[in-house]
Amino acid sequence: MSERLLHAYERIVLLHPKSVLLLVLLVTVALALGLPNFKLDASADSLTLENDNDLDYFREINERYGSGDFLVVTYSPLAGDDLFSDKSLATLTAITEDLKQVEDVVNVLSMINVPLLYSPKVPVSQLHETPRTLLTRGVDREMAKQEFLNSPVFRKLILGPEGQTTALLASIKVDQRYIDLVRGRDALRLKRKTEGLSAEETVQLATVSKAFLDYRTERAVVEKARVKAVRALMDNYRDRAQIFLGGPSMITADMVDFIRSDLEVFGAGITLFIVITLAIIFRQIRWVMLPLATCGFAIVMMLGWLSWIDWRLTVISSNFVALLLVLTMALTIHLIVRYRELHHENPEASQLELVRDMVNFMARPCIYTVLTTIVAFASLVVSGIRPVIDFGWMMTIGLAVSLVLGFLV
């Protein structure tokens, strides 16, 4: 480090340690106030870039044909029972009726209510009549089973290849407000990209984007409650069959739970690893608490800042917490080791002299180390994959914060 920078660092930081630490604490507390707004996101928008053609096409098809979200329940009778037995059909009927009672479920399609066209074959002249189903009196169930297995309409959709697993499709009501918000936001984004926006349109884009994020958050809560309700009713039938749940909203709800679990488990695990490692290496409480405090400040600052600006963690970017803890610990260990070496060489030196010499010796290698790591993570920004891009930016900013805190705390 140059003499000028070292002198400035000594004058601003080393000569005012209490003021600097107080400033760090105040900034940390201020950013931590945003933590109640911390959110996790596993929606389609969090995994794709703006104006993603495939996602736009998917939404266009849903809007055009009036199809919304859906949940799929798979049903396989326990060993010794047959899927087409009276007992299994009665259970399927009960599950179907229960699913219809779930909020926003508009229709439940299953093998007990789809029309049978080849059991026996229905002439074209009779298609206008009430269709026969598996529950219609006199229907040949073996013939219906063969239709489900071989019909071009139902094959691999209603019945599994082995003939003992079926699926129930619960269709969810189309969320028109969600579609309108997406359409309005994407139209303004496209215009910004092609023509540019006026000042009024820029404000309008910011407004509709915030409204969409807020509504998406509310919608995620509703979807999670719906998935929980469906799983609760499924539990009533697990003594009769193997039952599993699937569908986009189930995947989204479970991914958010997985992200939260990863944050808790890996965060706690790495914190414990840091404590044990530092205790083994240094065997002094202050050399355990100092790196732990630095890591804690860095994580709280980053999560608080992300919460304030409503930048949500995804299944990929949530890993930045664990990585930032490890990299921050490595940085502080380097500084502590050098300080202890200097203290061993000059036991009579003052605290100010030891810290100044340590900073003078370690500043350049630490900065170079962090910069090369930042370059590595910054390269993810050009990946073209939204969660990977977010992860790259979060690690880049987090490493810069860790570097600053390492020389302040």
Domain edges within the chain? 3-46+253-406, 70-173+227-246
| Burial tier of 116 (Cβ tally within 10 Å: 0-12, 13-18, 19+) | buried
Spatial separation of the C-alpha atoms in residues 91 and 11, rounded to whole Å:
78
Domain 70-173+227-246 in CATH 3.40.50: no
Which residue, among 199, 163, 187, has the nearest Cα to 75 in the 3D structure?
163
- Read off the tokens for 298: 């860095």
For residue 129, the model assigns a pLDDT of: 66
Distance CA 57, CA 208 (A): 21
Rounded CA separation 224/43 (Å): 12
Separation CA 307–CA 217 (nearest Å): 14
d(CA 202, CA 197): 6
Return the pLDDT at 227: 93
Characterize the bridge pairing of strands 166-172 and 70-77.
antiparallel
* Nearest Cα to Cα of residue 69 among 157, 169, 171: 171
Question: 3-46+253-406 in CATH: which number?
Answer: 1.20.1640.10
Nearest CA-CA partner of 146 in 111, 98, 183, 197? 111
Eight-class DSSP state of 359: H
How many angstroms separate the CA atoms of 232 and 236, rounded? 7
pLDDT of residue 168: 93
Question: Looking at this protein, which amino acid is placed at residue 51?
Answer: N
Q: Report d(CA 81, CA 182) in Å as an integer.
A: 47
In 225-243, which positions are buried (b, 16+ CB within 10 angstroms) versus exposed (e)?
ebbebbeebbeebeebbeb
Q: Contact at 8 Å (CB) between 356 and 14?
A: yes
- Which H or E element spans position 395? helix 386-406
pLDDT tens sequence for the chain (409 residues): 677 887 888 888 888 888 999 999 999 999 999 998 888 887 777 777 666 777 777 777 777 776 678 999 999 998 778 898 889 999 999 999 999 999 889 999 999 988 887 776 766 556 556 778 888 888 888 888 888 888 888 888 888 888 889 999 999 988 888 888 888 888 888 888 888 888 888 889 889 988 988 888 888 889 999 999 999 999 999 998 999 999 888 988 888 888 888 888 888 888 888 889 889 888 889 999 999 999 999 999 999 999 999 888 888 888 888 899 999 999 999 999 999 998 888 888 888 888 888 888 888 999 999 999 999 999 998 887 888 888 999 999 999 999 999 988 7
Write the CB contacts of 45 (distance below 8 Å, at least 6 apart in sequence): 55, 216
Q: What is the dihedral of CA 287, 293, 298, 302, to 10 degrees?
A: 160
Q: Could you give the CA distance from residue 143 to residue 189 in angstroms, rounded to a whole number?
A: 54
Q: 């053609």: which residue's tokens?
A: 53
Q: What are φ and ψ of residue 197, in 5° steps?
A: -115, 150
Helix (H) or strand (E) holding 278: helix 248-282
DSSP structure class, residue 172? E
Q: What is each CA distance from 258 to 41, 109, 254, in whole angstroms?
A: 11, 30, 6
Q: Are strands 105-109 and 70-77 parallel, antiparallel or unpaired?
A: unpaired
| Residue whose entry in the numeric block shows the structure tokens 């079926």 | 166
Please indicate whether the domains covering 3-46+253-406 and 70-173+227-246 agree at the CATH topology level. no
Strand order in the sheet with 105-109: 105-109, 166-172, 70-77, 241-246
Q: Please answer whether residues 204 and 191 qualify as being in contact, where contact means their C-beta atoms are separated by less than 8 angstroms.
A: no
Structure tokens at 230: 């469906």
**Contact status, residue 319 vs residue 261, Cβ threshold 8 Å:** no
Residue 198 backbone dihedrals phi, psi, to 5 degrees: -75, 170
Q: How many Å apart are CA 85 and CA 256, to the nearest integer? A: 39
Q: Tokens 């063969």 map to which residue?
A: 146
Q: What is the pLDDT of residues 293-350, one digit of tens each?
A: 999 999 999 999 999 998 888 888 888 888 999 999 999 999 999 999 988 888 888 8
This prediction has a pTM of 0.79
- Going by the DSSP 8-state scheme, the letter that residue 235 receives in this structure is G
